[in-house]
Amino acid sequence: MSMHAPSHEDAFEAHHGHSHGHDAGHGTLKSYITGFVLSVILTAIPFWLVMADVLDSPVLTAVIIMALGAVQIVVHMIFFLHMNTRSEGGWTMMALIFTIVLVAITLSGSLWVMHHLDVNMMPMSPEMMRNMP
């Protein structure tokens, strides 16, 4: 006789294939290696873009770096956190969508703040500095 409530599922049962329909995703060596390789590539590309001064436009460079950062977050969620449409009745996919929206808001807000700090706080022209009290 079990001491647990009927809806309770302990880690031993879930891990050893006696799950009650939650279908939690488990990573394979191939999926971990794929995630690792993608993470390395998605880290190396922005580093190369900045260090080699590949693009003439700093704005384009920033946009590409932000997009690659967002893609890397999704790669981590899929390959390392095992988020998919089957796990937990689709709730992990809802968490993924929520995270994507949250990341988009955070990245755009960060760019907005950095732009306004640059416009409003950077040093003035030499003529304007001479006229300062």
Q: Residue 11 falls within a domain, yes or no? A: no
d(CA 59, CA 120): 18
Are residues 66 and 35 part of one domain? yes
Q: Residue 8 falls within a domain, yes or no? A: no
- For the stretch 12-30, pLDDT in tens is 555 555 555 555 567 789 9
Are residues 100 and 78 part of one domain? no
Are residues 75 and 51 part of one domain? yes
Are residues 69 and 96 part of one domain? no
Are residues 76 and 116 part of one domain? no
Give pLDDT, residue 17: 54
Give pLDDT, residue 71: 92
Q: Residue 97 falls within a domain, yes or no? A: yes
Are residues 110 and 92 part of one domain? yes
- For the stretch 92-123, pLDDT in tens is 888 878 888 998 899 889 889 988 888 888 76
- For the stretch 25-71, pLDDT in tens is 677 899 999 999 999 999 999 999 999 999 999 989 988 998 998 89
What is the pLDDT averaged over residues 85-89?
Answer: 78
Please work out, in degrees rounded to the nearest 5, the angle formed at the alpha carbon of residue 12 by the alpha carbons of 98 and 91.
15
21 secondary structure, DSSP code: S
When the pLDDT of each residue in the chain is averaged and rounded to a whole number, the result is 80
Give pLDDT, residue 68: 94
Are residues 94 and 77 part of one domain? no
Query: What is the span of the domain harbouring residue 70?
Result: 28-82
**Residues, the chain:** 133
Number of domains in the chain: 2
d(CA 10, CA 131): 72
Q: Residue 17 falls within a domain, yes or no? A: no
| pTM as predicted | 0.61
Q: Residue 133 falls within a domain, yes or no? A: no
Q: Residue 14 falls within a domain, yes or no? A: no
d(CA 87, CA 74): 16
Give pLDDT, residue 60: 94
